[in-house]
Structure 1
Amino acid sequence: MENPIPGQENIINLIVFFVLMALLLALTVVFIYTFSKKKILSEEIKRNELELKHKTQMLHAVLMAQEEERRNIARDLHDDIGAALTIIYQNASRLADEIGPKPVLADGILSLTSKTIQSTRQISHKLLPPVLEKFGLGAALKELFEDVAVGGGVETKCEVEINESHFSEEQQLNIFRISQELVNNSLKHGKATQLSLELAESDKGLYYSYRDNGKGFDLEKASKGLGLKNIENRAEMLNASLKFKTEEGKGMGVLLLIKYTL
């Protein structure tokens, strides 16, 4: 057996040492890179969560400010303008009685004042539905659909089978506002003659299904509209899944699944 060249063994050992050091350095670089990438990803997730939380808080603040403004306007309409109109009507009626047989002008003033009082009351109720506050979501939705039917020319169906204690007052208010927006869209833009709403509970939460037989619309074109944006915002506040099903000339369907918060 040949003896190794003097110094050759040391060279081999040095080569092995440097190879091992290079591998160790490479592993260290890979570890640092992986750790840094995970840290960056974690920080990005946290940042997105904070942004989402901030967005949700801002959205909640905006919607609550809108509701407070609606309450104030509704109370002003009822307490101030409504009361003033009632006094005007009563005084005009007494004045007409003192004049004698009511002239045509007096009848017209009384009729117009009466209609204005009724319109003021209706606007006030839309802004702040007393039925919702006193009797809950189911009664308020049924009243909403009954009022549409009484107006004539529209068939309505409203089935509500829920335990309202499963949902907070704020959730019920958001569901009612979504319904108001949908009904308004169906009548004003869709020219619908049939409206239906079904609310039922499952193990997952509240199932909400709304349909009309109106003109429908192109969802992509309408997605920027204020009405649909309001619905989307309130659905987001409810942490609900929202799905529109509509085409031009084929009516509109809306599905919501609202999870329990208990």
Structure 2
Amino acid sequence: MKTIEPVLYITPVLLILAFGIIAFVFLYQRRMLQHQENLRQLQEARQRQVLEATLQAQEEERRRVARDLHDDVGAMLALVKLNVHQLNAALEDKTMGQGVKKMLDEVIGTVRRISHDLMPVVLEKMGLPQALEAMKRAVPPSSGINFEFVCNDKERRINSIVELSLYRVVQELLNNTLKHAEASLIAINLDFEAHTLRLEYLDNGVGFDYNGMVNKPGKASRGLGLMNLQARVALLDGSFKFESESNKGTKAFISVPIA
């Protein structure tokens, strides 16, 4: 009996010590997980700040280049065109002068188009629906593309940052369609709800293996472009869903909160 008594006394102490060690390990792991979560949140916040600063710098550079094109290059081209007109008036054979004037008109038109793409004045003055309507009109009839744009409130204005970000997203999607899709139809649906803006973009082009592209680093250029679009939408606390398959066209679904 005497040999059992020490064991009876020591066992509760050992149990308390064991539970204490278990509790300490549990709390330590919980603190480590919390610390890692805090680090992750800080890293995400830092990445968000860097991305916002990068996009803002890009837009400022676009505005600067657009101003230079419109104010300086555009003015010089207009002056050259005036001089060519005066020289052509003094020539007996006006054929060459007319050809030069035609080329100048094309160059001036190209400069205006590039300037507009860099800094869409319609977007700043009239809002996203009107800017997308202007984007639709800018697609030449010779492209053979039927461009459909539907919006439930074409006079609606929202936060300028949201408008610009979504305009850039649609601009990139449209450029991809015109360059690669061989599409005959582009359709954009812009739907303003009470607290959400939904944008759907689709084309009936050749499409591509989106899932295969995402899983293959060799096709990084197109994947990087889509990642940039997703990052833009993520900065608006929105969602971006992209679908594409070979010979089944392309679809993009975007949803962002609005006040």
Return the match for 1:72 from 55, 59, 64. 64
TM-aligned CA distance change 1:103 to 1:135, over 3 Å: same
Aligned equivalents of 1:230, 1:52: Cα separation in 2: 16
3-state SS, counterpart of residue 215 of structure 1: coil
Counterpart AA for 2:26: T
Aligned equivalents of 1:13, 1:137: Cα separation in 2: 84
Moved more, 130-139 or 237-246: 237-246
- Could you tell me the TM-score, scaled by structure 2's length? 0.91
3-state SS, counterpart of residue 182 of structure 2: coil
Question: What is the percentage of aligned positions where both structures have the same residue?
Answer: 31
Counterpart AA for 1:67: E
Q: How many residues align?
A: 251
Tell me how far 1:237 sits from its aligned partner. Answer: 1.7
Moved more, 218-227 or 28-37: 218-227
Question: Which has more radius of gyration?
Answer: 1
> How well do the aligned residues superpose, as a CA RMSD in angstroms?
1.7
Counterpart AA for 1:122: R
Give the structure 2 partner of residue 153 of structure 1: 144
Q: Show CA shifts across 1:174-222 (max 9, x none).
A: 1000000111111110011100000113355111111101000111354
Give the structure 1 partner of residue 74 of structure 2: 82
**Aligned pairs for 1:114-153 within 5 A:** 114-148=105-139, 150-153=141-144
Aligned equivalents of 1:186, 1:125: Cα separation in 2: 19
4+ long deviations beyond 6 Å: none
- Could you tell me the TM-score, scaled by structure 1's length? 0.90
Q: Show CA shifts across 1:238-260 (max 9, x none).
A: 22211112110110111111123
Aligned equivalents of 1:221, 1:86: Cα separation in 2: 49
3-state SS, counterpart of residue 235 of structure 1: helix
Aligned equivalents of 2:199, 2:237: Cα separation in 1: 13
Q: Show CA shifts across 1:114-146 (max 9, x none).
A: 111111001100111110011011100111012
Give the structure 1 partner of residue 203 of structure 2: 212
Give the structure 1 partner of residue 96 of structure 2: 105
**Aligned pairs for 1:195-206 within 5 A:** 195-203=186-194, 205-206=196-197
3-state SS, counterpart of residue 139 of structure 1: helix
Tell me how far 1:151 sits from its aligned partner. Answer: 4.7
Contact kept? 1:222, 1:228, Cα under 8 Å: no
3-state SS, counterpart of residue 207 of structure 2: coil
